[in-house]
Structure 1
């Protein structure tokens, strides 16, 4: 596929991804009864306000990829990122519809979205960080947290472990993944910012539930993520 066509296609998928909530307007998270063990206020999940980050993700991706179509349509440095990002955005455009039907398939798809987005993130051009690395970092960072949340929900929802153990395991996996990514990628501190945002959302949720164990671990994880995120910000200046 030619570079200009790829640029246009990834931009269109970003727009389709952003408007997909219009077609599934009543989705507010998984229904507790979608699991064999109903998940009522699962401790692994961030508080509802945290999901507002999607608004910024959608707008920034569209703005960045739109800039790419306008100014970098035939740019070789942008092409590898676009090729990797297309599967993530394409799957994302149908994710809500799948999530309504099946948490298991939703978990499979969100991990596909994550892997694709991470490959794209590592392929972002060094230049144009405000239009490539930074918006993609925010997207991939939130997906890193959300993918681990999906594992925690499935583990507890299918009775493999209790909800607290599932949340602890999911947070640990998220921290290992996020620390590794942020330490290796200095040009996208927004990745760590998104992970911290998700962890703080988990802290807030577990003050409401409450679950001191999960709240403490998420708080410690958020603090720990400040270090690689700050180093990435300093290195990117």
Structure 2
């Protein structure tokens, strides 16, 4: 199978261009709130250290490689069929989230990030069901970049929800909600990672939980250690998945 729908390929490319360009334009033109200012309204319940967001450099690089690959040389495999449209939705959602946060549309930001995460995870699950052992090139240039994004969107969804609930005064910035948020990340991330058999999906969640530990160890040491423990458990899961793959 070699032919690919050109329109679909262009939509994916445009989604990636928008996801990369919108944050740059928003930051350089000082449009609305920055992501940090948006989060600062309600990050008293749970937050990640600022360095964690440097992962977007790797995510953008992977998405750019994916966009070019699926437009130019990628064959129309079951992997691409399963992931192209879900990826377009999720990647476009990254740019849309920046705009929602810039204009302080708090509940809209929650809807965007949750829908983006769920759509991409569903696509990855479908791709795995159709082709459990994709070609190396498809794995490297399609599955891995999108798994990395899906993992980050998973932990970011939980933090975004807690941030908005806190900013809206629905919950207070107490330890109970922080613990529930970390537990949700551990259970959801662990279940999805196992279903996808993907250490790559788990990697950004582990990275994010480590950043939660760094950010919260002074003010919420119990939550910080819980985040560290969750990161260790997911790291063990990732190692098990790697061992199973190499067996």
**Same fold per TM (> 0.5)?**
yes
State the alpha-carbon separation in 2 of the partners of residues 31 and 65 from structure 1. 29
Q: What is the match of residue 233 of structure 2?
A: 224
Note if contact 1:155-1:166 (Cα within 8 Å) is conserved in structure 2. Answer: no
1:212 to 221, 225, 232: 221
Note if contact 1:142-1:194 (Cα within 8 Å) is conserved in structure 2. Answer: yes
Deviation at 1:8, TM superposition (A): 2.6
* SS class of match (2:141): coil
Note if contact 1:4-1:74 (Cα within 8 Å) is conserved in structure 2. Answer: no
Deviation at 1:43, TM superposition (A): 4.5
1:203 to 190, 205, 213: 213
Deviations 1:137-188 (CA, angstroms, capped at 9, x unpaired) = 11000000000001211232233332132221111111111011111112x3
1:148 to 140, 147, 158: 158
Note if contact 1:98-1:105 (Cα within 8 Å) is conserved in structure 2. Answer: yes
Identify which range, 195-204 or 3-12, moves more after superposition. Answer: 3-12
Identify which range, 75-84 or 213-222, moves more after superposition. Answer: 75-84
* SS class of match (2:36): coil
Q: What is the match of residue 106 of structure 1?
A: 109
1:167 matches 2:178: yes
In proportion to residue count, which structure has more helix?
2
Deviation at 1:76, TM superposition (A): 4.5
Deviation at 1:110, TM superposition (A): 0.6
Cα root mean square deviation, aligned: 2.0
TM-score w.r.t. the length of structure 2 is 0.85
* Structure 1: runs of 5 or more not aligned: none
Count of residue pairs the alignment pairs up: 229
Deviations 1:177-235 (CA, angstroms, capped at 9, x unpaired) = 1011111112x31111110000000000012x421111011011101111221122223
Note if contact 2:45-2:163 (Cα within 8 Å) is conserved in structure 1. Answer: no
State the alpha-carbon separation in 2 of the partners of residues 210 and 219 from structure 1. 15
Report matched runs for 1:47-86 at 5 Å.
Answer: 47-72=49-74, 74-86=76-88
Identify which range, 47-56 or 93-102, moves more after superposition. Answer: 93-102
Q: What is the match of residue 26 of structure 2?
A: 24
TM-score w.r.t. the length of structure 1 is 0.88
* Structure 2: runs of 5 or more not aligned: none
State the alpha-carbon separation in 1 of the partners of residues 119 and 187 from structure 2. 18
1:233 matches 2:242: yes
Note if contact 2:22-2:98 (Cα within 8 Å) is conserved in structure 1. Answer: yes
Q: What is the match of residue 119 of structure 2?
A: 116
Note if contact 1:3-1:73 (Cα within 8 Å) is conserved in structure 2. Answer: no
* SS class of match (2:139): coil
Identify which range, 160-169 or 215-224, moves more after superposition. Answer: 160-169
Identify which range, 212-221 or 71-80, moves more after superposition. Answer: 71-80
State the alpha-carbon separation in 1 of the partners of residues 39 and 24 from structure 2. 22
